[in-house]
């Protein structure tokens, strides 16, 4: 995973896109999420794979542009959810209230 992250980061560095402020990536992220939703609704596995990959690339460069570490963000999210308890309601996990 780290090797792929490094390759994605280098792609953006090579094109001098790594110093932007991240605003454009937020727009791109919304577009890619919409593409994922469309692919899911069409049950198009190949397009879902493409969209998830594109979303990941956008998140990696957003982190790069805003001084965040992608792996640190993922680890933080995992630490937050790892001990959660709850139930699935209408296909969505709902955490227990504490």
Would the pLDDT of 96 be above 80?
no
Contact 59, 16 (CB under 8 A): no
Q: Please enumerate in sequence order all residues whose Cβ is within 8 A of that of 69, keeping only pairs 6 or more positions apart, or say none.
A: 63
* Residue ranges covered by each domain of the chain: 2-95
The pLDDT of residue 83:
80
Over range 14-27, report the average pLDDT. 95
CATH architecture of the domain 2-95 equals Orthogonal Bundle (1.10)
Pairing mode, if any, of strands 92-95 and 86-89? antiparallel
Among residues 95, 17, 94, the alpha carbon closest in space to that of 62 is found at: 17
Q: Residue 90: is its pLDDT beyond 80?
A: no
């Amino acid at each position: 995973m780290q090797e792929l992250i490094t390759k994605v980061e280098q792609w953006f560095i090579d094109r001098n896109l790594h110093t932007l402020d991240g605003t454009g990536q937020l727009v791109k992220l919304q577009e890619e999420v919409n593409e994922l939703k469309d692919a899911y609704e069409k049950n198009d596995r190949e397009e879902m794979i493409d969209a998830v990959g594109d979303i990941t690339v956008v998140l990696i460069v957003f982190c790069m542009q805003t001084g965040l570490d992608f792996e640190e963000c993922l680890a933080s999210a995992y630490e937050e959810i790892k001990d959660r308890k709850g139930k699935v309601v209408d296909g969505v996990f709902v955490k227990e209230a504490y």
